[in-house]
Amino acid sequence: MYGWIWRHLPGNAWVRSIIALVLVLAVVYALFQYVFPWAEPLLPFGDVTVDGASAGGAGADR
């Protein structure tokens, strides 16, 4: 896939590298601005449960 993108970019290697860098930065920007905020409520990162009653695990002898 990356080879296909590289072959279809215009210019020499330096121009292609700059265009590829701009494309990668645009994808990262879109992910952080739109995709991750949309998906964050769907992910279980806020559902953390810490049980205080240990059943013989580490630190139970204290």
Tens digit of each residue's pLDDT (9 = 90 or more) over 7-52: 999 999 999 999 999 999 999 999 999 999 999 888 887 777 887 7
- Residue 33 within a domain: yes
- Looking at residue 27, what is its pLDDT? 97
- Residue 54 within a domain: no
Distances (CA, A) of 7 to 10, 12, 15: 8, 10, 12
- Residue 8 within a domain: yes
**Region for residue 46 given its phi and psi (left: phi exceeds 0; alpha: psi -120 to 50; beta: otherwise):** alpha
* Confidence check: pLDDT of 62 > 60: no
- Looking at residue 53, what is its pLDDT? 62
- Residue 56 within a domain: no
Contacts of 52 (CB under 8 A, 6+ apart): none
58 vs 20, residue with greater confidence:
20
- Residue 57 within a domain: no
